[in-house]
Amino acid sequence: MTAIFKKELWSYFGNWSAWLIIAAFSLIGTLFLFFFENDSNIFDIGTASLQSYFVLVPWLLMFIIPAISMKTIAEEQQSGTLNWLFSQPVKISEIILGKFFAVWFVGILCLLPSLIYLYTVYTLGVPAGNIDLGATFGSYFGLIILTAAFSAVGILASSLSQNQIMAYLLGVFMCFILYFGIEQLASYKLLGGTDYILSNLGFYKHFLAFTRGLIDTRDIFYFVFVIGICLALAKIFVEKKK
């Protein structure tokens, strides 16, 4: 698994693609938080809080993570190197996990520049440091685990697709449905008491708990379970390609 992890990281950082993704992610976040007139602009909100950032980032990750993960399986199959991987003394589960951790790692690196935003908001507070650190660090933890979930979904989408473009589109669609689509469907209250159960099936409600500073083991278990299911399904689909 370690060899696959290193191989994937080299493929991302060796050709500058990861650096460009991280830079683009940071630039978009900076523009929305400090320059564009919108509901996420910290100066327009007038409060020392990063909550608008934590609302914005899942939508950015929804498009960024599938872009990182689309090549993991689909490109290997398209270029013929997947068969070479099958011939190596490495288990398919190790291939999946190595690629998953590489995508997750790059996703976490996308979040690191936001620590500059945290420092800026911390110093701009009146008085300085007037920020809810509990909710802030809880939100960061939620983003890290949400990034892992999106990464697992992206790996699954890549294992289902024959080429990278289809893997990307499918990944974005699946992330959108799991994060926003299920929550919106439940908000229409068409299914009576079942709406509550439906809303608990999506990412949004569980991530929202983290943004309030509540780190509940049930929310952690939910994301771990979803990640496990996605990776297990990806393993099955890759085995069928063998």
Cβ within 8 Å of residue 194, ≥6 positions away = none
Residue 214 one-letter amino acid: L
Q: Which of 204, 179, 161, 141 is nearest to 63 (CA)?
A: 179
Q: Read off the pTM.
A: 0.92
Q: What is the pLDDT of residues 64-77, one digit of tens each?
A: 999 999 999 988 88
Q: Where are the domains of the chain?
A: 2-240
Q: Which residues, given as ranges, of the chain have pLDDT below 70?
A: 46, 48, 125-126, 128-129, 190-193, 195
